[in-house]
Amino acid sequence: MTSFLIGLFLATLITALFTMRLYRLILWYSLNSLSLALLAITIGFHIGDNSMIVSGFFTLLLKAIFIPYILKRISLRFSLSRQIEPNIPVYYSIMLIPALLVFTFYLAEPITNMLSSNANYVAISISSLFLSLLLMIEHKNIAPKIIGFLSIENSLFLLGTIATNGMPMLIELGIFFDLLMAIVVINLLFKQEEEVKE
Amino acid sequence: MILYIAMILLMILLSPLVLSFIKMLKMFLLYKKPISIFQGYRDFSKLLSKEIIISKETSQITHIAPYLVLSPLLLTLFFLPPVSSGEYYVSFVDAFTITGLISLSTFFLMLLGLDSASSFGGLGSSREAFISALVEPAMILTLFSVSMMANNLGVGQAGLNLSKHFPYEHMASFIFAGISFFILLVAENGRIPVDNPETHLELTMVHEAMILDLSGFYLALIESASSIKFMIFASLFASLFLPFGLDLPVVLAIGVFILKIFFIAFLVAILEVNTAKLRLFKVPNLLGIAIVFSFLSLITFYVLGA
Amino acid sequence: MIYLLILPAFIMLVLSFWSVQKSRFVLPLTSLLILFPAIKLFFLPKPYSIWGTYLVADDLSAYVMLVSSIVAIGVTLAMSTLGLHVEIKDRVYARFYRFFALFWIGLTLSIISNNMGIYWIGLETATLSTVYMIKTNSSLMARKEAWNYMIVGAIAISLILFGIILIYTSFKPLLGEEAMNFSALLKSAKEIKSPFLFEIGFSITTLGMFIKMGFFPMNLWLANIERASFYPVAALFSGVLESAVIIGFFRFSKIAQLVNPLHLFIFVFIYTILTIFIVSFLIYRSKDFMRLFSLSGVEHMALIALFWASGGVFAALLHFGAHAFLKPALFLSTGILESKGKYKIAGALRGYSGVKGKVFYFLTALFLLAIISVPPSPMFFSELYGFGAMVDIAKKHQHLLLMIGAIMLLLVFLSIIFYKFTEIYQSMKYEGVEQKRVVYGNEVLALVLFAFSLLALLTPWSFEFLRSIS
């Protein structure tokens, strides 16, 4: 089950890299977060860690539902461009993404020998960090960059969930708080732009 | 052995039904009056009774090619994974052979398009070449990776192995392969995001453009070839990615298999209703995703074992 | 104690929602309050536990806290006459203070935290609030740079968290949930089971911090941002935010030093030399004050990191203090020199009359000379001690000749910067036309504050204190 959800996580992220429409991208982000939340809840039940289950539910509410909704609201309100063409042509992405994945998988190979549980998935979370960075790099528009930032947050959460079997509760709550603050700041930045235009 | 032959005959017989089922479902979902589910058979018999008209510019190829389009596909039917665990199957045929046979059929289809010397035929052939060049590597990689997960390079054996030991520990790579194969299924059979089988608009045609000059019996051959092709892909998907129900009693196992085929057809119909056709030069993007996923599936399996 | 530290910021946050006219004069006064808890913290016995094992103040954090609060006060002092130099709406002041309060809360958390997670949370809060502070300037460039900063900052911050999680993973089998504590990590660094995992985590974290300080591959973004924002914001950036980042570097590299000192040294050494190499030429080509100073800030940060990694704790801390006081002072004086948006270097220092003008002229010239480490400046001493530490570490590993070569190379780069600054100083003083210019009292006061703090750094007492921090 863990493997299945991790597969879904990476699959949604890669599909997001090829997406050319903003709402579709938000949908992929939401699915990405959904698989992450389900993953955290499953692992939490598996090892009997209540705080992990709680943070899984937080992820579900915040990242899979609330933030995509807010992003859609923002994009409607400030009429952001819905066509998001990547800077990197798809032909190159097709070669670049597998190369990136192979690189990170081999980079993480010594790590996988060191951890006992769920070792392989560290490699996947490192590669998803790089893929989210690629998502930020390959777009010029601001909205996909924000989603790239949020996906980086997701891959961090994946690493925290999988490699460490959950970070201390306090830290996770702090991270959620910062995420909310980031959303507020993004909203404010857009708002200011609106004011200046008027 | 009898079951084996019977199953192949059943697949050939069922294949027009599946395509008409998709068409029916689509029309139903679009609030049109749906066609009969047996429309495929009706078309076939109608075409049989019609006269064959061939343009005088064509060479001998037009007379040979329809048979050669159909026959590799018929041959492929013999190599598919078994439907029930007691059934006879060919175990040694691997991803390369199956992909090769399918592309042999595609090759003759392209020749057929070029042979009529009409402008549409050449256009359709070049587009088909463009798409199938991208499909083939992805297809080989996907089938290869699934058969690696099943511990046997033979596709037939792999289907059986998967049903016996489902690779729970390789679930991630299994999913990637599944996504990739579904995209290939859609692309190679000319379904909507890649090609629209129902229009005759020159901007969008791929498959239809190549067979525009055919009529009568030859057209019937090509039409049945395309429905058999869908059947091959659907049954590969059913036995490699939905590997359950093989251990049931024979009749039930066949019933489950047919249900799976219709489920896949249902998925395709839903996808067709919900997406718009891609522009031709956006098609590589979709197939690019398929290639990335098939490659990813292979390396995830090899490097991470996940 | 935690309430005392955060209370002034909290009051500021509340007051900033008050009507603009009333809060206009109250806000700067409130910001003065942040100094007292910092002083109190400084004189408490160390290590002083503020909140369990999460927030613990030691000598290092008390020192950084004190320096940062002095800088912040100086900046807010000069801030009140910002409107006389640039065009700005009254509303913007309130916004600035609102986000300054958030910034200060985050900064305090990250400086006094003894926990990697809390350190990160504080840093993220501080970063996100500074994004909005850039936008107080409503020019097109500032808007663009705010987004840029949001993106780059987010990447850097995420890299830091990623590394932190990896470090946590590497120590978790040993320490359990305690593996977030810096002090616990320090204690058991020698017994670590998987040093490779730790080192990957450390290098990712450090990469994030280096990006945030504008090191090698990302040299120009900091300069662009400081150019785009108002000068007090730029001063806060270079004086305060960087200190929160560098204290994290201090703490992480302390652990890395115990795990594998040679790897740490080589990593930081190559990275900083590359940075200084590029930055020195960027400085040579730069055409306005703000970029010049912010690039030189990058150079000083690189030097601090290098000194710290080579074991010259005293040198690094002295350099850090000097940089933290000098850079904001220079940014503030830049704001005055570039008054009303004209930034001509030629003749910028001419035309200041009256007592205030004379004092301003004198101090600015002094700061300019101090930043390129002309002898009585603390920078001179810190560089001397720092190079000494580098030679010491080379003696241990029998690479003395190589190290001396590297130091020579560094000196060449530094001399390029030296040359550029002297040229600019001369051009400011002797070229161009003389114009009537105005300086306001509070700005001179802020500069005097910085000058006195610099002098205080040079006293034997503070030398002794810095030496006692290990």
Chain A residues whose CB is inside 8 A of the C142 CB are none
B153-204 per-position pLDDT tens digit? 888 889 889 988 888 888 888 989 999 999 999 988 888 888 887 777 777 7
What pLDDT sits at residue C218? 80
Q: Do B171 and A91 touch (CB under 8 A)?
A: no
Chain A residues whose CB is inside 8 A of the B173 CB are 7
Name the residue of chain C whose CA is nearest to A161's CA: C165
pLDDT at C452 over 70: yes
For A80, the 3-state DSSP assignment is coil
Q: Do A149 and C169 touch (CB under 8 A)?
A: no
Amino acid identity of residue C224, one-letter, is N
Q: How far from B280 is each of A32, B137, B283, CA to CA, in Å?
A: 29, 19, 5
C8-52 per-position pLDDT tens digit? 888 888 888 877 777 777 777 888 888 888 888 888 887 888 888
Exposed e or buried b per residue across B238-251, where buried means at least 16 C-beta atoms within 10 angstroms of its C-beta: bbbbbbebbeeeee
**C92 vs B3, which has greater pLDDT?**
B3
What pLDDT sits at residue A117? 60
State the sign of the Cα–Cα–Cα–Cα dihedral C72, C73, C74, C79: positive
In a domain, C5, yes or no: no
Chain A residues whose CB is inside 8 A of the B285 CB are 18, 20, 90
The DSSP output letter for A48 is T
Retrieve residue B46's tokens.
């109608």
Residue B89 CA to residue C6 CA, distance in Å, equals: 75
Q: Do A91 and B169 touch (CB under 8 A)?
A: no
In a domain, C241, yes or no: no
What pLDDT sits at residue B178? 93
What pLDDT sits at residue B252? 92
Exposed e or buried b per residue across C432-451, where buried means at least 16 C-beta atoms within 10 angstroms of its C-beta: beeeebbbbebbbebbebbb
Percent of chain B past pLDDT 90, that is, above it, reads 45
Domain count, chain A: 1
C384-428 per-position pLDDT tens digit? 999 998 888 888 877 888 888 989 999 999 999 999 988 888 888
What pLDDT sits at residue C192? 83
Residue A180 CA to residue A150 CA, distance in Å, equals: 11
Chain A residues whose CB is inside 8 A of the B288 CB are 18, 90-91, 93-94
What pLDDT sits at residue B26? 92
Residue C82 CA to residue C246 CA, distance in Å, equals: 28
Q: Do B291 and A121 touch (CB under 8 A)?
A: no
Q: Tell me what the mean pLDDT of segment C375-390 comes to.
A: 88
Closest CA to C273 of C312, C298, C303: C303
Q: Chain-wide mean pLDDT for chain C?
A: 86
β-strand partners of C49? C56
Q: Do A129 and C158 touch (CB under 8 A)?
A: yes
Q: B62, B116 in Cβ contact below 8 A?
A: yes
Which of B27-41, C284-298, C326-340 is the most confident on average?
Answer: B27-41
Retrieve residue B201's tokens.
């608009």
Residue C159 CA to residue C212 CA, distance in Å, equals: 10
pLDDT at B229 over 60: yes
Residue C69 CA to residue C6 CA, distance in Å, equals: 12
What pLDDT sits at residue B46? 93
What pLDDT sits at residue B71? 94
In a domain, C248, yes or no: no
pLDDT at C341 over 60: no
The minimal CB distance from A11 to the residues B176, B299, B305 is found for: B176
A177-187 per-position pLDDT tens digit? 888 888 888 88
What pLDDT sits at residue B306? 66
Name the residue of chain C whose CA is nearest to A183's CA: C128
C155-169 per-position pLDDT tens digit? 898 899 989 988 888
Domain count, chain C: 1
What pLDDT sits at residue C38? 87
pLDDT at C91 over 90: no
Kindly state whether B169 is in contact with chain A, defined as any CB-CB distance less than 8 angstroms: yes
What pLDDT sits at residue A196? 67
Residue C101 CA to residue C387 CA, distance in Å, equals: 38
**Can you give the residue ranges of every domain in chain B?**
2-54+75-90+137-200+226-304
| Torsion angle (degrees, nearest 10) of CA C78, C84, C87, C90 | 70
ipTM computed for the complex: 0.90
State the sign of the Cα–Cα–Cα–Cα dihedral B153, B158, B164, B165: positive
Residue C74 CA to residue C326 CA, distance in Å, equals: 11
Q: Tell me what the mean pLDDT of segment B11-29 comes to.
A: 93
Kindly state whether B293 is in contact with chain A, defined as any CB-CB distance less than 8 angstroms: yes
Q: A39, A9 in Cβ contact below 8 A?
A: yes
Q: Do A170 and C161 touch (CB under 8 A)?
A: no
**C93 vs C306, which has greater pLDDT?**
C306
Q: Tell me what the mean pLDDT of segment B238-249 comes to.
A: 88
Q: CA of B230, closest CA in chain A: separation in Å?
A: 25
C229-277 per-position pLDDT tens digit? 888 888 888 888 888 899 999 999 999 988 888 889 889 999 999 999 9
B38-87 per-position pLDDT tens digit? 999 999 999 999 988 888 888 888 899 999 999 999 999 999 999 888 88
- The answer to whether B and A touch (≥3 CB pairs < 8 Å) is yes
A65-87 per-position pLDDT tens digit? 999 999 999 888 888 888 888 88
Retrieve residue B108's tokens.
């003759």
Q: B35, B20 in Cβ contact below 8 A?
A: yes
**B144 vs A174, which has greater pLDDT?**
B144
CA B56, distance to chain mean position in Å, is 32
Q: How far from A55 is each of A9, C121, C122, C186, C293, CA to CA, in Å?
A: 17, 17, 20, 29, 44
Residues of A near B (CB-CB distance < 8 A)?
A: 1-4, 6-8, 10-11, 14-15, 18, 20, 90-91, 93-94, 97-98, 101-102, 105-106, 109, 112, 120-121, 123-124
Question: Across the A/C interface, how many CB contacts are shorter than 8 Å?
Answer: 103
User: Contact partners of B by the rule of 3+ C-beta pairs under 8 A?
Assistant: A
What pLDDT sits at residue A197? 65
**A96 vs B199, which has greater pLDDT?**
A96
Q: C127, C209 in Cβ contact below 8 A?
A: no
**A99 vs C178, which has greater pLDDT?**
A99
Residue B96 CA to residue B98 CA, distance in Å, equals: 6
Q: Chain-wide mean pLDDT for chain B?
A: 89
Q: CA of C170, closest CA in chain A: separation in Å?
A: 9
pLDDT at C338 over 80: no
Q: Could you list the residue range(s) of the whole structural domain that residue C264 is in?
A: 260-470
